[in-house]
Structure 1
Amino acid sequence: MDTGESIKGKPVTEEQIGAWADEAEVGYDVEELRKRGRGRPGRGAEPSQVVALRLTTEELANIDARAAREGKSRSEVIREALAASAA
Structure 2
Amino acid sequence: MGAKETINGIPVTEEQIEAWAAEAEQGIDVAALKKRGRGRPGRGAEPSQVVAVRLTSDELTLIDARAREENKTRSEIMREALATYAA
Same-fold call, TM cutoff 0.5:
yes
Note the residue ranges of structure 1 that are not aligned, 5 or more in a row: 1-19
Query: Helix, strand or coil: the match of 1:83?
Result: helix
Q: Which amino acid aligns with 2:42?
A: G
Higher relative contact order (CA 8 A, sep 6+): 1
Note the residue ranges of structure 2 that are not aligned, 5 or more in a row: 1-6, 13-19, 21-27
- Following TM superposition, where does structure 1 have runs of at least 4 consecutive aligned residues deviating by more than 2 angstroms? 33-36
Distance in 1 (CA, whole Å) between partners of 2:68 and 2:80 is 15
TM-score normalised according to structure 1 size: 0.62
Equivalences for residues 6-25 of structure 1 within 5 A: 22-23=9-10
Distance in 1 (CA, whole Å) between partners of 2:36 and 2:68 is 27
- Percent same amino acid among aligned pairs? 67
Residue equivalent to 1:54? 54
Structure 1 or 2: larger strand share? 1
Give the aligned CA root-mean-square deviation in angstroms.
2.5
Distance in 1 (CA, whole Å) between partners of 2:74 and 2:34 is 28
Paired residue total:
64
